[in-house]
Amino acid sequence: MAIKRWDPFREMITLREAMDRLFEESFVRPTLAPLGREGTLAVDVLETDSNFVVTASVPGLKPEDLNVSVVGDTVTISGEVKEGAREEDARYIYRERRFGSFNRTLTLPAPLNPDKAEAVIENGVLTLTLPKAEAARPKAIKVKTK
């Protein structure tokens, strides 16, 4: 057995590497693939004259796994990704697929009409079509001459 000389900077380097990894994963290269860190959901929001269209990647989820609610100008998408069956005597080499509950709340720039909202899942993509409330839609005013 060899005697190792104690190097006080070895622990500092390990701490520095851990802090670098923390900042890199949090700010430089955040993980936002379908379910990112802490159960968030990556979304795209498109605005037209009469609607907002929200799309989110939800691979493998069924409509009964998702909950969508609209209140005023706020949309909440929540759900749960269930863990697949685990093999008792298997040793995983990689286990990167995330599971658990997620929740995403979006505040849109105009009030919504939840009675006419639609939610559709196709090929692992959730598409929400959220009509704007009548008061929020642009009105054209005809200009007359005298």
CA gap 109, 9 in Å, rounded:
52
Contact 70, 83 (CB under 8 A): no
The whole-number pLDDT of residue 34 equals 45
According to the CATH classification, is domain 32-86+96-133 in 2.60.40.790?
A: yes
Per-residue confidence in pLDDT tens, the chain, 146 aa: 677 777 776 666 677 778 887 777 766 555 544 444 445 788 999 999 899 999 998 888 889 989 999 998 899 999 988 877 777 778 878 777 777 888 899 999 988 999 999 999 999 899 999 999 887 667 777 888 78
- In this structure, how many other beta carbons lie within 10 angstroms of the beta carbon of residue 128? 21
Report the side by side order of strands in the sheet with 51-57.
43-47, 51-57, 125-131, 118-122
Provide the residue ranges of all domains of the chain, joining segments of one domain with +: 32-86+96-133
Please report, as a single letter, which amino acid is at residue 77.
I
* Torsion-angle region of 31 (φ positive above 0: left; ψ -120 to 50: alpha; else: beta): beta
* Closest to 81 in 3D by CA, of 96, 60, 54: 60
- In this structure, how many other beta carbons lie within 10 angstroms of the beta carbon of residue 19? 10
CA gap 83, 62 in Å, rounded:
14
